[in-house]
Every structure is written in C-alpha cells, then in structure tokens.
Structure 1
Amino acid sequence: MARARPPQNEGVLQDNGMGEAQTKEKRTSVAQMASSADELLDILGYQAELVRSRSTFQVAFMSFVLASVPYGLSTTLLYPIAGGGPVAVIWGWCLVCAIIFCLAVSLGEITTVYPTAGGVYYQTFMLSPPKWRRIAAWICGWSYTLGNITITLSVNFGTTLFFVACINIFQDSEGNGIFAAETYQYYLIFFAITLLCNAISALGNRWLPLLDTMTIYWTFGGVFAILICVLVIAKNGRNSGSFAFGKFEANTGWPEGWSFCIGLLHAAYATSATGMILSMCEEVQEPATQVPKAMCGALILNWLCGIIFLIPLMFVLPDLLDVISDPYGQPLPFILRSAIGNEGGAFALTVPILVLAIFCGVACTTAASRCIWAFSRDGAIPGSNWWKKVNKKLDVPLNAMMLSMVVQLLLGLIYFGSYAAFNAFSGSGVIFLTIAYVMPIFVSLIGGRTHLNEGSWNFGTIGVVCNVIAIAWSFFVLPLFSFPFFNPTTADTMNYASVVFVGGVLICGIWYLAWGKKNYQGPPAKAEDVERRRSSIVPH
C-alpha cells in the first residue's frame, strides 16, 4: 500500500487567525485527503513519490497559466488576422473554446476514474481492448510526450519572437526597428529563456502554486491595462462595431472558408495545453475531483480573458494588410504602437505579456517534465531508469526536466534552417496533443463508456455528444494544421509541422520495433486488477 505523505504546502496549512484546534483539524483533513489519493494511486499501480501540495484553485490556476491566453493569442495573432480578419479572431476564438470545452468534459469524465500523472496515456491503456492496449498506449504516450515537449518549445520560442518584436516598437528615423537581430541572436535569446524557465521550475517548485495564483491577478491586470489604454487613446481612431465583430477579409491566398479554418490555429494553440494539467494529478490532494473541475473551470476563465483581450484590439485594428506586412510577424506590438501613438507607452503595455510568457514557459516546463517522468516509469523512453528518478531534495523529476530541456534546445536549431520554425513547433505540438487527448475518449466511446460508473463524473448523453465533437475535431485538426498558411508557398512560409510530426512518428515507431514490441508491458496494473481492487477498497 502506498504510504501517506502529508502535504508540505505551508500556504494551505498556515493558521490565518484560526485557533490551534481548527488549524490541527485542517492539517488532519488535508493529510487524510492525501492518504486517500495515495491509496487510490496504489490501486492504479504506482507508489506515491511527489508531494500533494496543490488545492483545487491552485491546479485551476496552473491550468490557466499553461494556456496564458493573452500571451498565446498574441504570438499567433497573425493567423486569424490574415485568415479572415476580426471575424476569424473573435468568432474563431469562441468556436474553438466551445469545442475544447467538450474535450475537457470528455477527459474530465475519464480522469475521475484514472487520476494519474500518466494522464491520457494511462487512460488509453486501461480503456483499450487487451489485444490492442499496449500499442494504443504506446502511440498515445509518445504523442503526449512529444506534444508536451514541442508545445513547451513553441512557448519559449514564441516568447523569443515576441520579445524581439516588442523591442522593435522603438524605431529609428527611417522607420526601422532598433534591433535587427541575427539568427544566432534569436537562438541565444531562446536558449536563455529556456534555461530560465527550467531553473524556476526546478528550484522554485514549492512556490509554484503561489506563482500561479499571482499570475491570475497579473494577467487580468495587464489585459485591463491594454483594454483601457487602447480604447481611450485610440490615436488613429476606432473601428465600428460592425467592423470589430463582422469584418471578414481573407488574405492567405486560399479560398475564404479554408482560410478561416487555417486561422483557427490561433485559438487551438492557446487552448492546446488544456489536457497537460493531467500530468499534475499526483501533486493534487483530491485528483479525481479537483483536476476535472480545474480543467473545465480554467477553460471558461481562459475564454473570458481572451474575449476581454481581443475585442478592444479589433476596435483599434489598423489596415489588415499593414498588420500582415509587419516584418516581425507579431501583430500585437504593431497594433499597440498604432493605437497608443507613443513607442514607450506601447512597449510598457507589452511588459505584462512578456512576464506572462515566462510564467507560461515555467508552467509548461513543469507539466512536460511530469509527463516524461510518468511515461518513463513504465520503461517506454530510452534510458527510462534515469528519467524516472525523482530529486528528493527539490521534489521534482529533475532528470526528466533536463531531458525535455535538451530536446527543446536541439529542436530549436531548426530556426537556423528556416524562419518558419515557430509554425512547425506550434502546429506539430497541437497535432501531437490532439492525438493524445482524443485516444482515451475514442476507446471510451466505442467501449460503451461503462468505466464511468467507477467515477464521480458521468454526463450521460451530453457526455456522448462531447465525445463525438472532440473526436471530429481531432480528425479535422490533423490535415488542417499541416497545411501551409500562405498560398503560394515559399520556403519561408512553408508549414514544417508535418516534418516535425513525421520525425516524431519515426522515432516512436523505430523504438517500438527495436525495443517496445518485445519488452514494453504498459502500466504495472491491468484494468481487471484495478477494477477488482477498487471495488474492494474504495466505496462507490
């Protein structure tokens, strides 16, 4: 039986004016929750190794930070602006959020039954027919792992591109940005940002819940600052409501309908981290209920934050072709400079987004390290004995985190060969994660969803509808986000997401043939054993 480990979150356990008896009672309650969660984890086949220090709100806040909506929407804003203008920006965001909410509900139902750091990988194994469960879990696990790594990479690389664009808000007398960065300078900035995010995640693990909480206030403070300033100053005037909500103009070279769809990468990228929070299940006090609630609640908060952020920008949006033609490919600094009319003021408004970008990088780094660690526990990654170790002093899977960091730094070298590298990272990350998210939903649906009787979430017919929408979205995403964004396509505008995706698939396939087919057994507990032990230990 897994040993109960009392949470070491002083923020949860501090007195806050309560009497000694009340404080003691609260400590006992939190310890009991951790004990119950560790017992369930033992039933699922694993020994508790990480401290359960996060509450429902804290894990919801981390889920919010993983998305970091203002930042995520800023770095990919070019896609919907070129894809369809304000219509693609506003209504594309609403459409994708509704679809991803269906996905979150679907994953939440399954997570109430199987709340482990293995997330969708573990769930796929448990729900698949015995004949196919090993290969299904292998595909899902590698998709989830590669998705975590490439999304984290795209966040840090996106921060690099956004940072350079923000500096170039300041222009010389000829209208050129003051920092004409060379390729190697972009890479060095990316290198420094990646190291910083890993250092904060590794050395500051005990303070990360507090950092996530503070980020909520920081995010909305920055968003409201942008909202108020651009609408009040509006140096070049304001657009009409019909323009902000109804202007459609495709400038990608593709037919209008397809152009709008390609622009959905903007919203899909910002919400792609929705399921990454599942990797934190073994650091949450009551994961079977807290993580599903946090995942769905954070998505609603993300939608609201995105709407508050995007609508004011559409009211002050300059000529679409001018925005698309900006050499740095980052519309937000361009829009702010136009709306504020002052370089210093426009740059000041980007500072909250830049800080949020670092917070997002830290959250993604944390989730990715847990994903690699969880997958390594079952021996699925080369060198698993090394990556599955937990640093007891820092209470983090440090080796797994370093592996993720090294892979990101190596993949970042692609930028030396193509300026479209960010498109490859963001597009392939969305594709990998979408495949991973939908696999347990698919096998759950075709299996009749009978396993949901063991959990606390079962939405019945509504759940079935959500499952179908999530699966349909995944089939749509695969070809969509592999498509070149502009037509005609050049080497600089080519979408290399398919190249990164195929490379990942080859690694997965080669390692399976070389080792996995003969040696990989999946999670230590089998579905039949889990069901039997759960029914005898955990009350329904």
Structure 2
Amino acid sequence: MARLFHHSHATTGTDDAQKRKDAQIAKRTVPKSAADLSLSDEEASSSHAADDLLLVMGYESELARTRSTWQVTFMSFVLSSIPFGLSTTFAYPLVGGGAANIIWGWVGISLIIVCVAVSLGEITSVYPTAGGVYYQAWMLSPPWCRKITAWVCGWSYVLGNVTITLAVNFGTALFLAGCINIFTDSAGAGIFASEPYQIFLIFLAITLLCNAVSAFGNKWLPILDTFAIFWTLAGIVAIMVTVLAVAKNGRHTSDYVFGDFTPSSGWPDGWSFCVGLLQAAYATSATGMVISMCEEVRQPATQVPKALVGTVVLNLVAGFAFLVPLVYVMPDITALLNDPSGQPVPAIIVSAVGSQGGAFALTIPLIVLGIICGIGCTTASSRCTWAFARDGAIPGSHWWKQVNPSLGLPFNAMMLSMVVQIALGCIYFGSSAAFNAFSGVGVIFLTVSYAIPVLASMLGRRELIKDAPFHMGRFGAICNWITIGWSLLAVPLFCMPSAIPVTTTSMNYASVVFVGFTFISMLWYFAWGRKNYQGPPA
C-alpha cells in the first residue's frame, strides 16, 4: 500500500504541487500575524520567494520567516558562544600540550571550520531547508544509494544536534558549580559539594529553562541573540583587561604563551596535540546547526551561507582575544588539572585577580552565555528533529512533525529532544566522565553529517551546485577537500581518551555512545525504514 500510494503521489505530483502553491498564494492575501504587518514590501517579497522555493523542494511553509541576515548571523554566533564553549573544555589542551596547544589549536581548527562553513554554505544556498544536510545528502547522492545515505546523514545530524545541546547544558551545570567553588572555606575547599545529584539537578533546571524560553519566547529570540553579541564583547573585554591589568601572580612571556608545548597526556607529542584539539572542535561544532533555521529566514539561500562563514571568522577573533590573556596569567598547569572542580578557567581568573568575589563577577558573563547558547541549541535541535520527522524517519513521526498552531513552532519535537537529553544526562550518576562522552560524540555526529553532503557533491564533480547563489569556485573545491580530510581525522581522534594510561574517569565513552546510537538507527532502518521510508518529497 505504501508503494502504491507513493506511485500515485508521483504521477499526480504536478497537480498537487500546483494546488499547494495556489493555497500558499491564497494565504498571502491576508497577513498571517502582526509580525507580517511589520515587514517592508521588500522583506515580504523575499519571504514569499523563499516560500515558493521551499514549495518547489516539496514542502509547504509552516514556520514564520522572521530572521534577517544579521539576526541569523547572531544566532549562529550564539550556537557557538565561543568564550563559554572554550571555557568548559579548557582542560583538553592543557593535557594535550599546554599554551601552544590552546592558542594554535584554536587558530588551526578555526581555519579548518572556515572551509567546512564554505562547503556547507555553497550547498545550503541551493537547498535551503530545515532538513539541512540531511535533505542535501538526498539531493546530491546518486539514486541507487540516496535512501541509505540520507538516512545515515539525517540520524547523524539529529543525534549531533541533541547531544551537543545536552553537552552545552551539562557543561553549563559543571561550569556553574566550578564558579561557585571560587569561594572556599577556611580549609581552602570549595563551598559547594558538587555531588552527582546536585549537578544533575542544576542540569535539569537549565534544560527546562532553555526549553521554556525557546518554546514560549520564540518571537523574542532574535532580540536575545542580538543581546548576546554585545554581552559577549563586554565579557571578553572585562576579562581581558582585568586579568592582564591585575595579574596578581605575574605574567608569562610571549615566548611561553605562543611557543610552550608541554604535553602531559602520555600520548606521543603529535597525537597529544591533536587530542587537545577537542576544545576548539567542540566550540565550533555547532557551525552547521543554524542550517535548520532556513525556513525561518527571509532569504535563506544567501543569508544562511553568509552567516555560516561570517560567524566562524568572528568566532576566530573573539576566541583568540579570550584565550591569549588567560594563557598569559595561567598558573601551574599541574595545579589546574588537579583542581577538584575540574574547571580550569575559574581557577585561572581567581589566581589572576586575587579576589574571590571579583573573580566570580568575571565569570557571570560566561554563565549567562552558556544559558543563551543552550537556548539557541535547543531551538536548532527542535527544528532539525521536526524536519527529519516530517519525512517519516523517526518512530512516531506523526507526533513529532506537528507544528503547534499557537506557538508557531514544533513543540512536540522540542519535547522529544528534551526527554532524550534528560535520559542521557542520567549517565552522569554512573560516571563523572559522562560530559566527555556528550561533547565528544556530539562533535563526531555533526562532523559526519557535515561531511556526507560535501562528499556527495564532490563525487558528482560539484555539478549540482555550479549555479549556486553562494558559489566559491576553485576555493570552494579546496574547502571541500579540507572538510573531508578533517572529518577523516576527527572521527577516530575524538574517540580517543585524553590521557593514558586509561582509567574509568579518563576513559572516553564517546565511541560507545556513537556506536550504540548508530546501531539503533541502522536497526530501525532494516526493521522499518528499508521498506517504508521514502525520503524527502523532492
């Protein structure tokens, strides 16, 4: 019956598409909401053109297009929240190689991610849908393998979005606990016990808050993203100026900051440096998540690619300005790694400032950024989950593909993502290394999902994107090669433990989570998807 229906749908596709287009045009005779009334004629025309393009790709527009170029750029910046993302994973390059690993690892990975952003931007300018890389993988793959290719890419993209959102919220909980423990008792111990149940409850509260703001404050999210830009700038300047000016325990020389390489991971020097790159990779991994917002952007074919590339460049500068002052005033690395909180950045700031209250005040911008980042990731994660469910690829898709009419967003898909995050968060009760698994597997899944459409485009000699509005010519082809090379390195790299010999706390469980979720998705494919999954209505 499913095949018969699909055949019937194909034979009458032209008539159905015309009916849908007529319905869309009819809807436009009356503004949808007060937001539509505030748009200029040019903006309204752009939104209608984007809806028409979406209709050609097989979907009706169900979400309001409220974001401009700057607003989608700001959201892309928020998804990374560079000062916060670099803070929660600061221990990785400390173990990997110290100062040089921190500074040059960040610069090197940022340049690689520029290439990833260019590669995704070219393809997104041709296929700007909420399905993102999943839809692109279907369109760019040969017919004989497009179903399994899109399936693998879609599950990688959804799971990457969910686990990165989980890592952000869990990282905020751990970072907040570390900041509280800037305050110590008479014995020099932190005032907060940081028991597993306490960390989990903080994580739960942050997760619920992010979902509530994303669901019920959707129309104000562009304002929040804009605020985050200025908040980030103010926070970086405050930290940079204060720690360098006070520097209570002195400053390192520039030779140390930019040249000292002291690995303590137990790995060979070169591999140790590479393992330390997880900090930079985690902070930039959310680059492609903004593609899921394409159906809420007025001119997605041009605005989203510009946001992708522009944000990475902005992040490179912001991250460099944040890291360099911290390394100049960084205390002994061994002492930082042995800090009970497991959070080096609060320890660096309190060492430089010499005041517990002053140091805590400087961490407040980072904590707020963590929450804003969680809201942005929650929003993007819900959109990609909804888009994948829209094509029937997730069990119970008829629930998750619904758009809540009063909220104007996929509320059910958001709740599904939240429940999965909370369930996975319970792993922390069994292992304190859970955050390492969440951050590592998120990077792996997203890297795989980004690489699949880029590789498919390369195998097709980039023919299907040659007329892309955001075509980068020969530079784009070079970026494609760099993207694939980075992906081949990143997947095994971030399955490795950060130090050897391996213990239960230093073990990297990302590989276990990655293999487990991959197995479940493939089991669902062979049990149901192979016969029933039809892919996007392209």
AA in 2 matched with 1:336: I
Q: CA offsets per residue over residues 410-449 of structure 1, 9 Å max, x none?
A: 0001001111000000000000000000100000001010
AA in 2 matched with 1:251: S
AA in 2 matched with 1:343: Q
Deviation, 1:7, is 7.7
Q: Which residue of 2 aligns with 1:285?
A: 298
Q: Which residue of 2 aligns with 1:413?
A: 426
Q: Which residue of 2 aligns with 1:313?
A: 326
Q: Contact 1:9–1:54 at 8 Å: present in 2 too?
A: no
Q: Does residue 520 of structure 2 align to residue 520 of structure 1?
A: no
Q: CA offsets per residue over residues 36-87 of structure 1, 9 Å max, x none?
A: 0000000000000000000000000000000000000000000011111110
Q: Which residue of 2 aligns with 1:116?
A: 129
SS at match of 2:466: helix
Q: Which residue of 2 aligns with 1:330?
A: 343
Q: Which residue of 1 aligns with 2:499?
A: 486
**Structure 2 CA distance for aligned equivalents of residues 225 and 252 of structure 1:** 32
Q: Which residue of 1 aligns with 2:114?
A: 101
**Structure 1 CA distance for aligned equivalents of residues 438 and 266 of structure 2:** 23
SS at match of 1:399: helix
AA in 1 matched with 2:77: F
Q: Does residue 401 of structure 2 align to residue 377 of structure 1?
A: no
Q: Does residue 273 of structure 2 align to residue 260 of structure 1?
A: yes
Q: Contact 1:52–1:284 at 8 Å: present in 2 too?
A: yes
Structure 1: any 5+ residue segments left out of the alignment? 15-25, 526-540
Q: Does residue 462 of structure 2 align to residue 449 of structure 1?
A: yes
**Structure 1 CA distance for aligned equivalents of residues 326 and 332 of structure 2:** 12
**Structure 2 CA distance for aligned equivalents of residues 9 and 112 of structure 1:** 29
Q: Which residue of 2 aligns with 1:157?
A: 170
Q: Contact 1:67–1:272 at 8 Å: present in 2 too?
A: yes
**Structure 1 CA distance for aligned equivalents of residues 522 and 176 of structure 2:** 37
Size of the alignment, in residue pairs?
513
**Structure 1 CA distance for aligned equivalents of residues 512 and 234 of structure 2:** 39
Aligned partner (choices 129, 133, 136) of residue 149 of structure 2: 136
Deviation, 1:174, is 0.9
**Structure 2 CA distance for aligned equivalents of residues 451 and 74 of structure 1:** 40
Q: Contact 2:125–2:301 at 8 Å: present in 1 too?
A: yes
Q: Does residue 246 of structure 2 align to residue 229 of structure 1?
A: no
Q: Which residue of 2 aligns with 1:39?
A: 52
**Structure 1 CA distance for aligned equivalents of residues 237 and 49 of structure 2:** 41
Q: CA offsets per residue over residues 92-150 of structure 1, 9 Å max, x none?
A: 00000000100100011101110000000000000000000000000000000000000
**Structure 1 CA distance for aligned equivalents of residues 140 and 88 of structure 2:** 37
Which range moves more in the overlay, 162-171 or 450-459?
A: 450-459
Q: Which residue of 2 aligns with 1:79?
A: 92
Tell me how large the CA RMSD over aligned residues is. 1.2
The change in CA–CA distance for 1:8 and 1:310 in structure 2 (over 3 A counts) is: farther
Q: Which residue of 2 aligns with 1:64?
A: 77
Map 1:166-177; keep pairs closer than 5 Å: 166-177=179-190
**Structure 2 CA distance for aligned equivalents of residues 227 and 384 of structure 1:** 48
Q: Does residue 362 of structure 2 align to residue 349 of structure 1?
A: yes
Deviation, 1:453, is 2.8
**Structure 2 CA distance for aligned equivalents of residues 422 and 13 of structure 1:** 45
**Structure 2 CA distance for aligned equivalents of residues 245 and 487 of structure 1:** 26
**Structure 2 CA distance for aligned equivalents of residues 9 and 463 of structure 1:** 40
AA in 1 matched with 2:153: C
Q: Which residue of 2 aligns with 1:19?
A: none
Q: Does residue 519 of structure 2 align to residue 506 of structure 1?
A: yes
Map 1:294-305; keep pairs closer than 5 Å: 294-305=307-318
SS at match of 1:114: coil
Q: Contact 2:164–2:443 at 8 Å: present in 1 too?
A: yes
**Structure 1 segments of 4 or more deviating over 6 A?**
none
Deviation, 1:454, is 3.5
Deviation, 1:503, is 1.1
Q: Contact 2:46–2:299 at 8 Å: present in 1 too?
A: yes
Deviation, 1:486, is 1.2
Deviation, 1:8, is 5.5
Q: Contact 1:9–1:53 at 8 Å: present in 2 too?
A: no
AA in 2 matched with 1:401: M
Structure 2: any 5+ residue segments left out of the alignment? 1-19
Deviation, 1:506, is 1.2
Q: Which residue of 2 aligns with 1:533?
A: none
Q: Which residue of 2 aligns with 1:536?
A: none
The change in CA–CA distance for 1:497 and 1:9 in structure 2 (over 3 A counts) is: farther
Q: Contact 1:202–1:396 at 8 Å: present in 2 too?
A: yes
Q: CA offsets per residue over residues 3-32 of structure 1, 9 Å max, x none?
A: 26568685x976xxxxxxxxxxx6211111
Q: TM-score w.r.t. structure 2 length?
A: 0.94
Q: CA offsets per residue over residues 187-215 of structure 1, 9 Å max, x none?
A: 11111110000000000000000100010
Q: Does residue 252 of structure 2 align to residue 242 of structure 1?
A: no
Q: Which residue of 2 aligns with 1:206?
A: 219
SS at match of 1:176: coil
**Structure 1 CA distance for aligned equivalents of residues 78 and 244 of structure 2:** 26
Q: CA offsets per residue over residues 328-348 of structure 1, 9 Å max, x none?
A: 211100001100000000000
Q: TM-score w.r.t. structure 1 length?
A: 0.94
Map 1:13-32; keep pairs closer than 5 Å: 27-32=40-45
The change in CA–CA distance for 1:75 and 1:187 in structure 2 (over 3 A counts) is: same
**Structure 2 CA distance for aligned equivalents of residues 277 and 9 of structure 1:** 25
Deviation, 1:185, is 1.0
AA in 1 matched with 2:62: E
Q: Does residue 420 of structure 2 align to residue 425 of structure 1?
A: no
Aligned partner (choices 125, 132, 135) of residue 138 of structure 2: 125
**Structure 2 CA distance for aligned equivalents of residues 45 and 490 of structure 1:** 51
**Structure 2 CA distance for aligned equivalents of residues 86 and 176 of structure 1:** 27
Q: Which residue of 1 aligns with 2:197?
A: 184
Q: Contact 2:95–2:498 at 8 Å: present in 1 too?
A: no
**Structure 2 CA distance for aligned equivalents of residues 334 and 453 of structure 1:** 51
Which range moves more in the overlay, 201-210 or 80-89?
A: 80-89
SS at match of 1:454: coil
**Structure 1 CA distance for aligned equivalents of residues 223 and 176 of structure 2:** 25
Q: CA offsets per residue over residues 143-173 of structure 1, 9 Å max, x none?
A: 0000000000000000010000000000011
The change in CA–CA distance for 1:213 and 1:13 in structure 2 (over 3 A counts) is: farther
